[in-house]
Amino acid sequence: MATDDIALPDGADGRPLVSVSPPAPADATRLGRADLHLHTNLGDGTASPARVLGEARRRELDVIAVTDHDHMEGAKRLADLLANESPDVSAAQPIEMIWGCEITTRQGHFIGLFLREPVKMLRHVEESIDAVKAQGGLCVVPHPLGRLVPSLSRRKIDELLDRGSTRGRAPPCAS
* 98-135 per-position pLDDT tens digit: 999 999 999 999 999 999 999 999 999 999 999 999 99
In a domain, 12, yes or no: no
* Contact call for residues 160 and 125 (beta carbons, < 8 A): yes
| Dihedral angle of Cα 143, 39, 115, 23, to the nearest 10 degrees | -90
| pLDDT number for residue 81 | 96
* Contact call for residues 53 and 95 (beta carbons, < 8 A): yes
Q: Residue 58 belongs to a domain with what CATH number?
A: 3.20.20.140
In a domain, 27, yes or no: no
Name the residue with higher pLDDT: 145 or 51: 51
| pLDDT number for residue 6 | 42
pLDDT in tens, 146-158: 888 888 888 998 9
In a domain, 48, yes or no: yes
In a domain, 64, yes or no: yes
In a domain, 171, yes or no: no
Percent of the residues in the chain that have a pLDDT greater than 90, as a whole number = 61
What span, in angstroms and rounded, lies between the C-alpha atoms of 66 and 75? 5
Domain that holds residue 63: 32-166
| pLDDT number for residue 92 | 87
Domain count, the chain: 1
Q: Which helix (H) or strand (E) holds 130?
A: helix 125-134
What span, in angstroms and rounded, lies between the C-alpha atoms of 172 and 49? 30
Query: Is the pLDDT score of 175 beyond 70?
Result: no
Pairing of strands 34-38, 63-66: parallel
User: Mean pLDDT across the chain, nearest whole number?
Assistant: 83
In a domain, 158, yes or no: yes
Query: Is the pLDDT score of 35 beyond 80?
Result: yes
| pLDDT number for residue 174 | 47
In a domain, 24, yes or no: no
In a domain, 159, yes or no: yes
